Structure 1
Amino acid sequence: MTLINIRNLGIVLGNSLFSRLNLVVNAGDRIGLVAANGRGKSTLFRCIAGALDASEGEITKARGLTVGYVEQNVPARLFDLPFYAAVLDALSADQQESESWRVDVVLESLEVPEALRERPLKQLSGGWQRIAMLARVWVTEPDVLMLDEPTNHLDLGKIAMLEAWLNALPRDVPVIISSHDRAFLDAVTNRTLFLRAEQSQIFPLPYTRARGALDEADAADERRFQRDMKVAEQLRKQAAKLNNIGINSGSDLLVVKTKQLKQRADKLEDAAKPAHLERSAGAIKLSNRGTHAKVLITLEDAAVQTPDGTLLFKTGKQFVCQGDRIVLLGANGAGKTRLVAMLRKAIEQPEVAQGGIKATPSLVLGYGDQALADLCDVDTPMETIIRRFDIGDQRARALLAGAGMAIELQARPVGQLSGGQKARLGMLVLRLANPNFYLLDEPTNHLDIDGQEALEGELMAHQASCLFVSHDRSFVRAVGNRFWLIEKKKLVEVESPEGFFASAAKPA
C-alpha cells in the first residue's frame, strides 16, 4: 500500500540540493537515506513533514496520514522540562488529561530508567536527549516515522536498544532513517536511497549490499561516460577535417555538415556527465612524519582514576608500537576518556609525570576529540589555520577550499559551521600538525559516510600509528588491528571487538 508518493522533487537553496527525485514509500518500508553532509537529507525530511515547500515536483500522501519527524536538535523551550513532562508535552491538552499512560508505555519500550524521567533534559546526556525526542514523536502514534541521525550521541548499548526497538515496531509502519552509521543502517533497513544532486538511486537492499549495487551502477556509468567522450572526440576531429576541406573548396554543404557534427559532439558531452560525480563535501587527508622508534608508549600498570581519586582500572604492562591501530573498548564510564587524557598529557607535557605512562621523545601528537574542543568557536577557519601553522594566506585558502570550505565559509566563525564542516576543519588541523601518532576520541562523529571511508583509507594508507575510541562498529572493524578492553577494573587485550559488541547489545 502506497502511503507517500514523491514525484520529480527538486530543492534549490542557493544551489540545487537535488532534483528529479522519485520515491514511493509503502507500508512496511524501512528506508535508509544516505548522502554527503549538506546534500539535502534534512531538507527532504522537512518537505515530507510539510514544513518546507519544494522548488519543483510534488509529494502526495494517503488521506489522513500523519508523519512523525524526529529532528536532531532539542527545542530550547524543552530544556528545563523533566524527561517525562517533555514527552507528555507532545500530546494535546485533552490527551494529557486522559491518556498520559501512553507516555509510560513509550518510555518503558525505550528502556528509560525511572531515575531519569524526572530530571530536566538539560541535565541529561546528548544520547538521552535524542531518546526523549524520539519518545515525543512516537507517543503521538504517527503513521510514518522519520529519524534524522538517530544514533548521534548514543553509546553502543543505546544503539543496540534502538535497533531492537525499531525492528519490533509494527511491520506496517514505514520508517525513513537518515544516518551515517553503516552498521546501524544494515541492522534496521530494507531499502536504501542514495540522495544525489541528479539521478538519485534507490535499491531494495540494506546499506552495505545497496552500496555494492551502487558501485556497480557507477562503474557502468563511468564506462558509458568514457565511451561517449571518445565518440565526441572523434566527431570533433571529423568536424575539423570537414571544416578545412569546406573552407578550401568553398562548399556550403561541408560547412553545414561540420556544424552538425559539432552539435552532435556538444549534445553527447552535455548528456554524458556521470551521475556519480557529485560535488565533494571536502577532502580528508592525513600525514605521517614517521619515527624510528619501535615502541611509542609504555604503560607500566598505570592507575586510571576519576577526578576525586576513585580507581577506574589499572592498565597492567602494555606497549603501543609503531603501526598499531589500537581500539579502546569499554562501557560508558569505564574510563576510556580518562586514559586518553592521560596519554595526551604524557605526550604533550612530558615534564609533568604521568604515573606509569612513558612516551618516546620523538612522538608528535595528532589529537582530535568528539566535541572538536580544540577548535575555537569565535575564530574563523582562516584564523584557525594561519595562527597555528606557518603558512601564508594563499596556501591556507587553498587548503581550506580542498577541505570543503568555500571563501564565504572561510570567514565565518567556527561556531557557525555545521558539524560536518567542523569535523573536516579538525581533520585539516590534524594533517597540518604532521604527527606520527594519532589519539582520536570518536573521530567519525559528524562525518558523513564518504568522510568516514576517507578517514579509514588515510589511516591505513599512511600506516598511521593510533589509539582511538569509537562507537562506530564499521569504523572499528575497518581500522583496528589491536583491541584493548576495559573490564573488571583491568585493561586486557582481546582478539576482536565482536565479543564486546555482543555484550553491549544485551539488555542491562
Structure 2
Amino acid sequence: MSLLSVSDLGLTLADPLFSGLDFTLHPGDRAGLVAANGRGKSSLLRVLAGLAEPTQGSVTRARGAKVALVEQDPPAALLQLTLRAAVLDGLPEEARDYEGWRVDVALDDLGVPEDLRDRPLAALSGGWQRTALLARAAVGEPDLYLLDEPTNHLDLARIGVLTRWLAALPRSVAAIIVSHDRAFLDAATTRTLFLRERDSRVFALPFSAARAALEEADAADARAFDNRLKEAQQLRRQAAKLKNIGINSGSDLLTTKTKQLTERADRIEAAARPAHRDRSAGAIRLEGTGSHARALLAFEDAAVATPDGRLLFRTGRKWIVPGDRVVLLGPNGAGKSRLMAAVRAALEGDAGAIRAAPSVRAGVADQHLGQIDLDRTPHALLADRFRPGDQAIRAALAGAGIAIDRQTAPTRRLSGGQRSRLAMLLLRFEKPNLYLLDEPTNHLDIEGQEALEAEIATDAAAALIVSHDRAFVRAVGTRFWLIAGRRLEEVDSPEDFFREAEGGAL
C-alpha cells in the first residue's frame, strides 16, 4: 500500500519548473529530493502537502494519511511564542489540555535542552527554530513528513540527532527530505528523486550511489539519442540515392519508397529526445589577486573570549600562508565565530595578537549574508561598489543564475540559494587573496557547492573556513584547526571530530 502517489505532475509558475513527474512513496521510505536552486523543490513539497495546486497531473494520498510540511522558517505568528508554546500550537486546540504531554516527548526525542524550552522562539538561533518546527510537526504524529532543508543552521551534533531521529521513526512513517547536505542525504535517505524540468528520475538508493546511477542513465540516454540520429541520417542517405535513381528511371515505386524512408527518418528524429542537461543555476567563480606575503595572517597566541570577557580558548602561534585552506572545527559555542570576528577586526586595523600582512585583501561571506542589503537590487549592489558597467553587471548576474527580471528587483525577492550565489559574485568582484567564509554552502544547491569547491581548490588565495558541511570540508580543506580544551590545535584530519560530534550518526 502506498502513502502517496504522484502521476504526470507538473508545475509552472513564472517558468516551467517540472512536468511529467511520476513516483510512489511507501511507508518507511526516506526519500531525498534533489535539484538546483529555484527548480521547484519547495513548491513541490507544498503541492504534495495540498497547500498549492499543480498545473497538471494529480497527487493521491492514502485515505486518512496525515501529512506534515516542515518549512524552512517559522511563520511570524509563532515567533512571539515560547519554543514550548510554538510546539504545543501543533496540536488541535481542543486536544492541548489532555495531549500536551506530547510536547515534552517530542522535545526530548529531538534533544532540546530544558533551558531553551520557555524562551521566545524569536530569541533562538535558526537551528533551534528549525528544531521547534520539526517538534511541532511531530506532536501531530503524521504519516508523512515533508522536510525543507532541515539541516540548515544545524551544527554536526544536531545533524547527528536529526539523523538518528529520522532512523527511529516508526516503519509506517515516510519522509521526503529536501537537502543540499550530501553527507546527510547519504546517512538519512534510502531513495533519491532528482527533480528536473522533464524526465525526473527516482532511484532506490541514497544520494551518492543514486548520483552515480543517474550519470550512467544519462550517458545511456545520450548514446541512445546519438544512435537514433545516426539511424535517421542513414535512412535519409538511402532516400536520397533512391530519389536520384527514381528520377532517372521514372520509377513510381522508387519514388514511393523514397517518401517512406524520409517519413520514417522524420518519425525517428521527432521521437528521439536528447539526454538530459540541467540548465545551470549559475557558475560560482572566485578570482583571487594573489599575494607575495609569506604569512597573510599570524596568530601570536591570541586569546579568544566571549563578549563579556570569558576566555574560550587561546590560538597558540599559527600562520596562514597563500594557498592554505584552513577549516575551523569545534562544537557550537566553542568560539569559531568569535575567532572569525577577531580576524575581521585585525583586518580592519585592530592591532593585537592577530596580525594581517599589508598585502591582504579580504573577501568576507558570513552565514547570514549580512554583507547584502536586501532592500537594494542585485544590479545596484554591483554598480555602487565596483562600477563595471551595465552590460558587464547584467552578464555577471545572469552567469550567477539571477534572471534579468530579478536583477533590478529588491534582493529580498531572491531565494536563499540565489542570495548565496550573489554573495559569491560580490566576492569575485572583490578579488581577495584571503577568504573568510562562514558556512558558505548554506542555501547553495549541490551544483553550486561543487562549483564553489572547484574554485576554492584551484585558487591560489588562502581561506579561513567555518562549515558544518562534511562533504565541503573534505573537498576543500588542506589544514584543520580544532578548538579543544581551551586551545586551538592543528589536527591531520577532520574525521575524528566528525565522528565524535555526530555521536556516531554515520
Fold similarity call, TM over 0.5: yes
Structure 1 residues 60 and 240: CA distance shift in structure 2, 3 A: same
How many residue pairs match? The answer is 504
* Partner SS for 1:499: helix
Which residue of structure 2 aligns with residue 408 of structure 1?
A: 405
Q: Is the 8 A contact 1:199 1:275 kept in 2?
A: no
Question: Residue 360 of structure 1 is aligned with which of 348, 352, 357?
Answer: 357
* Partner SS for 1:164: helix
Alignment of 1:16-27 (within 5 A): 16-27=16-27
Alignment of 1:455-494 (within 5 A): 455-494=452-491
- Name the TM-score, length of structure 1 as normaliser: 0.93
Q: What residue identity is the alignment partner of 2:382?
A: I
Cα deviation, residue 288, structure 1: 2.7
Could you tell me which runs of 5 or more consecutive residues in structure 2 were left unpaired when the two chains were aligned: none
Q: Is the 8 A contact 2:432 2:461 kept in 1?
A: no
In structure 2, distance between residues paired with 1:31 and 1:240: 52
In structure 2, distance between residues paired with 1:474 and 1:280: 21
Cα deviation, residue 274, structure 1: 3.3
1:154 aligns with 2:154: yes
Which residue of structure 1 aligns with residue 321 of structure 2?
A: 321
Q: What residue identity is the alignment partner of 2:166?
A: L
Which residue of structure 2 aligns with residue 126 of structure 1?
A: 126
In structure 2, distance between residues paired with 1:78 and 1:105: 20
Superposed CA RMSD in Å reads 2.4
Structure 1 residues 325 and 225: CA distance shift in structure 2, 3 A: farther
Deviations 1:446-470 (A, max 9, x none): 1011111111111123344211000
Which residue of structure 1 aligns with residue 336 of structure 2?
A: 336
In structure 2, distance between residues paired with 1:199 and 1:225: 14
Q: Is the 8 A contact 1:198 1:275 kept in 2?
A: no
1:386 aligns with 2:377: no
Moved more, 111-120 or 253-262: 253-262
In structure 2, distance between residues paired with 1:365 and 1:12: 41
In structure 2, distance between residues paired with 1:381 and 1:260: 56
Q: What residue identity is the alignment partner of 2:99?
A: E
Cα deviation, residue 418, structure 1: 1.0
Deviations 1:199-258 (A, max 9, x none): 111111111111111111122223333444555566667778888999999999988877
Deviations 1:101-147 (A, max 9, x none): 11121111111111111111111111111111111111011111211
Deviations 1:41-60 (A, max 9, x none): 11221122111222211122
Which residue of structure 2 aligns with residue 11 of structure 1?
A: 11
Cα deviation, residue 393, structure 1: 0.4
Which residue of structure 1 aligns with residue 117 of structure 2?
A: 117
Could you tell me which runs of 5 or more consecutive residues in structure 1 were left unpaired when the two chains were aligned: none
Structure 1 residues 196 and 311: CA distance shift in structure 2, 3 A: same
Q: Is the 8 A contact 2:289 2:461 kept in 1?
A: no
Question: Residue 451 of structure 1 is aligned with which of 448, 458, 479?
Answer: 448
Q: What residue identity is the alignment partner of 1:93?
A: E
Moved more, 160-169 or 428-437: 428-437
Cα deviation, residue 345, structure 1: 3.3
Q: What residue identity is the alignment partner of 2:280?
A: S
1:184 aligns with 2:184: yes
Identity over aligned pairs, percent: 58
* Partner SS for 1:2: coil
In structure 1, distance between residues paired with 2:371 and 2:426: 10
Q: What residue identity is the alignment partner of 2:424?
A: M
* Partner SS for 2:223: helix
Moved more, 223-232 or 158-167: 223-232
In structure 1, distance between residues paired with 2:351 and 2:265: 69
In structure 2, distance between residues paired with 1:429 and 1:252: 69
Q: What residue identity is the alignment partner of 1:400?
A: L
Q: What residue identity is the alignment partner of 2:96?
A: Q
Q: What residue identity is the alignment partner of 1:428?
A: L
Cα deviation, residue 358, structure 1: 2.1
In structure 2, distance between residues paired with 1:258 and 1:295: 75
Q: What residue identity is the alignment partner of 1:299?
A: F
Deviations 1:369-410 (A, max 9, x none): 111111111211111111121311011111111111111000
* Partner SS for 1:292: coil
